[in-house]
Amino acid sequence: MSIDQEPTTTKSSSSTSIKKKVEVREIFFYIPNLIGYFRIITAILSFLFMNNHPVLTLFFYGISGFLDAFDGYAARKYNQGTRFGAVLDMVTDRCATSSLIVYLATIYPNYTILWQLLVSLDLASHYMHMYAMQSSGSTSHKNVDSKQSYVLSLYYTNRTVLFVVCLLNELFYVAIYLHYYNYFWLGTLLAWLSAPVWLFKQFANVIQLNGASLILARMDADDKSK
């Protein structure tokens, strides 16, 4: 989600542009942020049903993930991109994915170390990337230049690639979940179809973590050199 400038209004009787004061509470009721709140509600509902109702889990978790494609669209359409919205979007994504993986750790305890590593990589790479981009003066964590990383640039700047990768990454975890609840053929089919993109997402997370580390280390080196 991009961060846009404060909206302005113009008097019809003159060419003087007058800035409109935006109250803090207005930010919380921006359309993309309202979508974000609804995503949180549906994600929590999926957690509540996760233990005994796979169909309802799939329904609510799917809604939460699907709406991720619309908050950014609403922000651009209505000029309502905000820092709060950008962080809310990323935090919702990370919490939903981590919560699903945590549940997978309870039904597939033999792979607990794998689930732990996946959660750690996901959270660390995204947090360090956002912090590094903001520290370097970028207005959005999605403003990744191809010179910095072609993979991350393709991932963040191409909305189609971003949507497909995020969708299939989540679908992989959902497929593993469905497999446990005797949706064998569906879970297995979805897992095989989404596995290549899931692997790409983990690869992108490693690149993201490495790139963020380099940005922060260069900034530290510049500061120490002064």
Cα three-residue angle 18-21-26, rounded to 5 degrees: 140
Who contacts 216 (Cβ-Cβ below 8 Å, separation ≥6)? Answer: 128, 131, 132, 135
Task: Find out whether 129 and 212 touch, Cβ atoms under 8 Å.
Answer: yes
| 93 counts as catalytic | yes
Who contacts 18 (Cβ-Cβ below 8 Å, separation ≥6)? Answer: 8, 9, 10, 11
Structure tokens at 119: 């959660």
**CB crowding 91-124: b at 16 or more within 10 Å, else e:** ebbbebbbbbbebbbeeeeeeeeebeebbebbee
> How far is Cα 212 from Cα 169, in angstroms, rounded to an integer?
22
Annotated catalytic residue within 71, 93, 122, 222: 93
Per DSSP, the three-state class of 4 is coil
Write out the catalytic residue numbers. 93
